Chains A and B, each alone.
Chain A
């Protein structure tokens, strides 16, 4: 059972901390120009951070106790390839979802 004091410290601390992280540049730097080298790196924020976030979850999903799972691997591959081919986010998500449920249905 989670201690109530801990819970509220975490909720409030995480709320304040997350807001600070989200506000630190837009709020404090504002419209001051940023150097070209920094902007060059920032252009790759999304394409670097998001794959880094999902790669371990795709290979070692927590739901299967960290064991690689064919259904989840296939779903990830389907979402990525349909996304690459169609450039359509919705189509890619549907491809991933259909593959995941299809595989789970066939093999469980």
Chain B
């Protein structure tokens, strides 16, 4: 199905964003729950989710505050976990960089793993999309996700410690990310990038402030780019 108007692009984004409801609900609930366990009240948990909307960074901050880490370390670590957002921003720039400033600012606030991933996959698949269509699609993809992030933070906070550990809500995030990554392995270069990133991330797991993720991410990106160059050269040689 080709996207034609911004409105149909928006609806298409909504549809493509729907599967993430299954993830965002347990993930947001878990944050609300842990926030209350850490001594926050419902309003504080909600404001946290409204202002930051970045699950992994929020979990990191919460964890470190409970361990009485210095404020600067809490901020630096949580922001390090979020450094990937800067990479997302860079990678979205060729697609939506010429949109009006207010749209880019709103898109920036709404840049979460899910909206980024689903949008970039779509923009790559249909390079002929116009900028307004891309922006509409992006906002569509966050529509089913972001409101639920707020709502279920509150639900989790109100449930408090009534949810048993045996529900294994912690694993909603890894499962989702793996499910989202798998269809993105379109070329050998993508596989190489992921493989190198995984190996480096496991080796760098002891690096403080979650910087291992960034190191591994950069290593994977370099590996992917080099593999792409190598594949191109080989194709040229064989012609």
Contacts and interface: CB of A to CB of B under 8 A. Distances in A.
Contacts of A19: 108-109
Nearest to A101: B168
B148 to A, nearest CB: 15
Contacts of B202: 55-56, 59
Contact of B217 (A30, A48, A76): A48
A22 B74 CA distance: 19
Interface in B68-93: 71, 74-75, 78-79, 82-93
B29 interface: no
A106 interface: no
A3 B148 CA distance: 28
Contact of A46 (B40, B181, B198): B181
Nearest to B64: A10
A19 B50 CA distance: 12
Contacts of A63: 165, 168, 170-171
B14 interface: no
Interface in A59-108: 59-63, 71-72, 75-76, 79-84, 87-90, 92-93, 95-97, 100-101, 104, 108
B194 interface: yes
Nearest to B49: A11
Contacts of B84: 45, 49, 53
Nearest to B58: A14
B128 interface: no
A54 B58 CA distance: 16
Contacts of A32: 97
Interface string B169-188: 01101111111111111000
A90 B19 contact: yes
A74 to B, nearest CB: 11
A42 B87 contact: yes
Contact of B75 (A17, A46, A58, A84): A17
Given A52-B200, A54-B178, A61 B171 contact: yes
Given A50-B117, A93-B176, A2 B39 contact: yes
Interface string B196-235: 1110111001000000110011111111110011000000
A65 to B, nearest CB: 11
A26 B179 contact: no
A10 to B, nearest CB: 5
A75 B178 CA distance: 10
Interface stretch (B5-13, B99-107, B154-162): B99-107
Contacts of B52: 11, 14-15, 18
Contact of A42 (B22, B90, B177): B90
Contacts of B28: none
Contacts of A41: 221-222, 224-225
Interface of A: 1-2, 6-7, 9-15, 17-19, 21-27, 29-32, 34, 37-63, 71-72, 75-76, 79-84, 87-90, 92-93, 95-97, 100-101, 104, 108
Interface of B: 19, 22-23, 38-40, 44, 47-48, 51-54, 56-58, 61, 65-66, 71, 74-75, 78-79, 82-94, 96-98, 101, 104-105, 107-109, 111, 113, 116-117, 120, 165-166, 168, 170-171, 173-185, 189-190, 193-194, 196-198, 200-202, 205, 212-213, 216-225, 228-229
